Structure 1
Amino acid sequence: MLALEGNQDAFAEIVYSFQDAVYNLCYRMLGEGTEAEDATQEAFIRAYNNLHRYDVARSFKTWLLSITSNHCIDRLRKRRMQYLSLDEPLPSGMALALSSDEPGPEQAAIDNERGQHIQLLLNELKPDDRAAVVYRYWYDYSYAEIADMLETTESAIKSRLFRARRLLADLYQQGLNIPADDDRPINPRLLQE
């Protein structure tokens, strides 16, 4: 890997290849677009500064997302220490393409509202539990991969996910749910696994 030898162009290609995955993880963890952008940049800076620690036997994406989730967890802990709210809603604006394959304005509004509800549910979880849920249900990582990224055991991950699913189901039942006119479940695996 040329990036390990200090080739900045090679690292720029890494950033280009993984920027969406890193941003999506930051967004799901932090719940706010601007902060997710900042966290994405910081995650890549940390990865670049720690390339000498990368074990080529591991997946680079797994290593990078591990750095990203740890950074997001640190940010969430700082928020909590500063008594800031974790309930900031998702940005209200959504860009719509003119293509016929894209949802119309009504569907986009419903999808945006669903996204806000999902983020509200995620915001109720502890940072470590939130990371486990995002890895499992947005990235489809195995228990072993999640345990590796969060530096814990598979049984701890299973416990976190069980606890998180139970809390999410309770919150969902209490009214933090999808609008009545939308009968699609949030994610059947998330609430039923």
Structure 2
Amino acid sequence: MQVGPDKDERDLIGMAKEGNRSAFSQLVRPHLPRLIVLARRMLGSAEDAEDAVQTALASTWMARARLDPEQPIAPFLTTVTLNKCRDRIRRRKVARLVGLSDAIYIVPSDDPDQLRTAAGRELLTRTAQAIERLPLKLREALVLVALDGRSQAEAARLLGVTGKTIETRIYRARQKLREKVDFS
């Protein structure tokens, strides 16, 4: 069951709809860390994540007339951010087809136990790359539930699918990750 926004959030949404930039900033500020983490997990790059969230916030500001003071802002912001991540993923695919992909460089660790650290970083890198290569629908479900800590029901509402669909997508995503990455 989804709970509506509190009075302060309703007031901020109302003021933002009227064009009050300060109210909009106050409204979205508490959600920024979560949105950036979500975008980072979807895109695999801090820079791309920040750009996606910034674009999502700009889009939300431009579409502020559609905000409903009776609905919490968090799901709306999450949906817009996911859409901006999808756009970036599509652009990456086009860039790869044309041969314009980015290279990733790993800086060696200064830890005394460099071998273990390097192996851990290598596993983390391979896992992140495998997550990035998952089909978008599987990646979204996995990121929202397993990495962003949302319930399957909440992820289902955000993505507009059933809870069973989310469960299936997470299962398939984990299965594909096990096939691609040796976690032993």
TM range, normalised to the smaller chain? 0.7 to 0.9
The match for 1:21 among 34, 42, 50 is 34
1 CA distance for matches of 2:85 and 2:111? Answer: 32
* Stretches of structure 1 lacking an aligned partner (at least 5 in a row): 95-103, 181-193
Q: Report the CA distance shift for 1:88/1:115 in structure 2 as closer, same or farther (over 3 A).
A: farther
Q: CA RMSD in A?
A: 2.9
Measured in 2, the distance between the counterparts of 1:35 and 1:65 equals 16
Structure 1 residue 155: Cα displacement: 2.3
1:31 Cα deviation from its structure 2 partner: 1.1
Structure 1 or 2: larger helix share?
2
Cα shift readout 1:51-101 (whole Å, capped 9, x = no counterpart): 222233433112101110111112212322342688864x7469xxxxxxx
Query: Who wins on radius of gyration, i.e. which is larger?
Result: 2
2:45 to 25, 32, 37: 32
Q: Give the paired residue count.
A: 165
CA 1:164–1:85 in 2, change beyond 3 Å: closer, same or farther?
farther
Tell me the residue number matched to 1:100. none
TM-score w.r.t. the length of structure 1 is: 0.71
What is the letter of the counterpart of residue 62 of structure 2?
N
1:141 alignment partner, SS class: coil
Query: 1:62 maps to which residue?
Result: 75
Name the TM-score, length of structure 2 as normaliser: 0.74
1:27-176 to structure 2, matched below 5 A, reads: 27-82=40-95, 83=97, 89=104, 92=106, 105=111, 109=117, 112-173=121-182
* 1:29/1:72 contact within 8 Å kept: yes
- Which runs of no fewer than 5 residues in structure 2 stay unpaired? 1-11
**Aligned counterparts of 2:70 and 2:26: Cα–Cα separation in 1:** 20
Match of 1:5 in 2: 18
Evaluate the alpha carbon distance shift between residue 147 and residue 59 of structure 1 in structure 2; reply closer, same or farther with a 3 A threshold: same
**1:147–1:153 CA contact under 8 A, matched in 2:** yes
Q: Could you tell me whether the CA contact under 8 Å between 1:143 and 1:158 is conserved in 2?
A: yes
CA distance in 2, matches of 1:23, 1:107: 31
Please give the per-residue CA displacement for 1:117-142, whole angstroms capped at 9, x wherever unaligned: 33112112112211111110122212
4+ runs deviating over 3 angstroms: 55-58, 84-89, 91-94, 104-115
- Confirm or deny: 8 A CA contact 1:87 1:123 kept in the other structure: no
CA distance, structure 2, for counterparts of residue 107 and residue 66 of structure 1: 42
